[in-house]
Amino acid sequence: MASIQFLGAARTVTGSKHALFVGKKTLLVDCGLFQGRSELKELNWKPLPIRADQIDAVLLTHGHIDHIGYLPRLYKQGYRGPVYCTRATADIARLSLPDSGRLQEEYADYANRKGFSRHKPALPLYTEKEAVRACKLLEPIPYYENLALPGKCTARFLIAGHILGAAFIQLYLPDGRTILFGGDLGRYNVPILKDPDEVSYADYLLVESTYGNRSHAKDPPRERFCDEIKRVIETGGVLVVPAFAIGRTQELLYYLSQMEQEHSHEPLIPVYLDSPMSAAATRIYSRYPQLYDEETSEMLRTSGDPLSPRSLHTVTDVSQSKALNFMDGPAVILSSSGMASGGRVVHHLAHRLPDERNTVLFVGYQAEGTLGRRLVEGASEVTIMGETVPVRARIASIQSLSAHADADGILRWLRGFKKPPKRTFLVHGEPEAQEALDERIRTELGWETAIPRLGDLSDLG
Ligand SMILES: [Zn+2]
């Protein structure tokens, strides 16, 4: 007897958490934080329908906060079991969870000082210290190794593309049936990482649907990035790129290295990487060259570290970060978070948005309710940390840089299945995207699908 309960990323793109009940055991796949709209963030404060001490093991598909960021909360509720993930994901979690705790502490402090939170006093979901303690539960497992789990289940981590260390989790029930937890599905033929592994069989499948209703623009991202750099060279402005610390930043650094190689005679404009988290994530990438694709491995052999362009200045302390406010362009500032929902980039936006010489370049998905989404949708002014900021800077975005497969990419991966799963659950998407993908899967592949709601329990027999 097995059943699955959807505790997050159900008709939304954050908060990934799937509880699997097998006999008397409970496994939790992904332990993500809800992000974006305030009613979603409120969910992080609500207790889970299962008690933390009744969960027997946690498995993580990858290190993004919307897949791991609830872990310290689970720890606070008493969870002390193992947390299995790939080695690179464990490294990323040790970096990003304490960072998440620290950001929450800082944000709560700031909200209390400025008095703009609805909660009095504003509290962090967890602290940096609590996140560090939760990280002690991480148990790294190599890709493709069989992992014995409670409830006589076994699991293997397969390569998912997406970000370093990302995995599909192929989980075998005691009766031999398999459930494939797709986590976030990466793309084919993108820089740095290998393509997602082909999967040919699963009885039940959970597949993400972030871009289920979209095709990534075909415009080559490197050329678009290069064009935006040229534009600020002309205006003398600053190009602010809110970039996800893990994945997107490394892709941009890779493109910068490529540009430098190809335009080695041209003067370089300075590129400031102003995110300790992004710098540390880049160091983690450099520790796993075995996970690089052919092209990146070749670049590493022939021209040195592809993630360390010559024009790069890594900003470490806060005073250096503040000093960037007084810097004239042209220059590039890469800073996180990618949706401008926190981190140092928020301060850069507050400072650079009112000047029309500047450009803000978004390079990834902007969830509903985030500052990034408001800017991309053309807001003429925005509220940043309680202050009204006029938007005069050029707002641009490169859609083609996503770490997620688009609808065609998802379908391509699904076509690798030799036999339809008994049921395919669409998770991790906003409703319009999910419905569009659902329609394609049913009509083009003839598979049985479901779009679970938060809290839905599905019996797997
Ligand atoms: Zn992800």
**What integer pLDDT is reported at residue 204 of this predicted model?**
98
* Per-residue pLDDT band at 264 (split at 50, 70, 90): low
172 and 110 share a domain?
yes
Whole-number Å distance, alpha carbon 337 to ligand 1 midpoint, is 13
**328 alpha carbon – ligand 1 mean position (Å):** 34
Predicted local confidence at residue 114, as pLDDT:
80
* Cα 67 to middle of ligand 1, angstroms: 7
Let me know whether 98 and 172 are in one domain: yes
Rounded distance from Cα 184 to ligand 1 centre (Å):
5
Last residue of a domain, one of 358, 378, 401: 401
Question: 334 and 408: one domain?
Answer: no
pLDDT of residue 265: 62
Ligand 1 geometric centre to CA of 105 (Å): 23
What's the pLDDT band for 182 if we cut at 50, 70, 90?
very high
Q: How far is the CA of 387 from the centre of ligand 1 (A)?
A: 31
Q: How does 265-283 read in b/e, with b if 16+ C-beta sit within 10 Å?
A: eeeebebbbbbbbbbbbbe
> Whose structure tokens read 């459930």?
179
Residues 9 and 105 in one domain: yes
- Do residue 154 and residue 233 come from a single domain? no
**Residue 274 C-alpha to ligand 1 middle, in angstroms?**
22
- Whether 206 and 306 map to the same domain: the answer is no
Do 236 and 370 fall within a single domain?
yes
Task: Using the mean position of ligand 1's atoms as its centre, give its distance from the Cα of residue 112 in Å.
Answer: 31
* Co-location of 357 and 428 in the same domain: no
- From 382, 401, 420, the end of a domain falls on 401
CA of 63 to the centre of ligand 1 (A): 7
Distance from Cα 162 to the centre of ligand 1, integer Å: 7
Write the secondary structure of the chain as one string of H (helix), E (strand) and C (coil).
CEEEEECCCCCCCCCCCEEEEECCEEEEECCCCCCCCHHHHHHCCCCCCCCHHHCCEEECCCCCHHHHCCHHHHHHCCCCCCEEECHHHHHHHHHHHHHHHHHHHHHHHHHHHHCCCCCCCCCCCCCHHHHHHHHCCEEECCCCCCEEEHHHEEEEEEECCCCCCCEEEEEECCCCCEEEECCCCCCCCCCCECCCCCCCCCCEEEEECCECCCCCCCCCHHHHHHHHHHHHHHHCCEEEEECCCCCHHHHHHHHHHHHHHHCCCCCCCCEEECCHHHHHHHHHHHHCHHHECHHHHHHHHHHCCCCCCCCEEECCCHHHHHHHHHCCCCEEEEECCCCCCCCCHHHHHHHHCCCCCCEEEECCCCCCCCHHHHHHCCCCEEEECCEEEECCCEEEECHHHCCCCEHHHHHHHHCCCCCCCCEEEEECCCHHHHHHHHHHHHHHHCCCEECCCCCCEEECC
Instruction: For residue range 190-220, list pLDDT tens digits in order.
Output: 999 999 999 999 999 999 999 999 998 888 8
Separation of CA 245 and ligand 1 centre (Å): 12
The mean pLDDT of the chain is 94
Interval between CA 32 and ligand 1 midpoint (Å): 10
Measured at the CA of 255, the angle between CA 252 and CA 398, to 5 degrees, comes to 55
Interval 115-138: pLDDT, tens:
777 777 889 999 999 999 999 999
- What's the pLDDT tens digit per position in 425-443? 999 999 999 999 999 999 9
Q: How far is CA 398 from CA 34, 248, 262, 332, 380, in A?
A: 25, 12, 21, 16, 20
**Whether residue 232 sits in one domain with residue 289:** yes
Our count of domains for the chain comes to: 2
Distance (Å) from CA 64 to ligand 1 centroid: 5
Q: Measured in angstroms, how far is the CA atom of residue 308 from the centroid of ligand 1?
A: 23
Residue 39 shares a structural domain with residue 57: yes
Can you give the CATH number for the domain in which 231 is found?
3.40.50.10890
Cis peptide bond N-terminal to 330, omega within 30: yes
Q: Ligand 1: distance of its center to the CA of 237 in Å?
A: 32
Identify the band that residue 111 occupies on the pLDDT scale cut at 50, 70 and 90.
Answer: confident
CA of 70 to the centre of ligand 1 (A): 14
Over residues 226-255, the mean pLDDT reads: 94
How far does the centroid of ligand 1 lie from the alpha carbon of residue 100, in Å?
Answer: 15
Residue found under tokens 């983690």: 284
Q: How far is the CA of 65 from the centre of ligand 1 (A)?
A: 8
Per residue in 30-70, pLDDT tens? 999 998 788 998 999 999 999 999 999 999 999 999 999 99
| Antiparallel, parallel or unpaired: β 359-362 and 138-140 | unpaired
Q: Rounded to the nearest whole angstrom, what is the distance from the C-alpha of residue 22 to the centroid of ligand 1?
A: 26
User: Measured in angstroms, how far is the CA atom of residue 120 from the centroid of ligand 1?
Assistant: 32
**What is the distance in A from the centroid of ligand 1 to the CA of 61?**
9
Confidence of residue 362 (pLDDT cuts 50, 70, 90): very high
CA of 82 to the centre of ligand 1 (A): 21
Which residues are placed with Cβ below 5 angstroms of ligand 1, an ion?
Answer: 64, 184
**Ligand 1 midpoint to CA 243 (Å):** 13
Do residues 412 and 396 both lie within one domain? no
CATH number at residue 109: 3.60.15.10
Residues 248, 377 within the same domain: yes
Rounded to an integer, what distance in angstroms lies between the CA atom of residue 271 and that of residue 331? 6
What range defines the domain where residue 98 resides? 2-214+403-459
Over pLDDT 90: what percentage of the chain?
Answer: 82
What is the DSSP pairing of strand 18-22 with strand 167-172? unpaired
Rounded to the nearest angstrom, the distance between the alpha carbon of 219 and the centre of ligand 1 is: 23
State which of 386, 401, 416 marks the end of a domain. 401
Q: For 392-436, write each residue's pLDDT tens digit.
A: 999 999 988 888 999 999 999 999 999 999 999 999 999 999 999
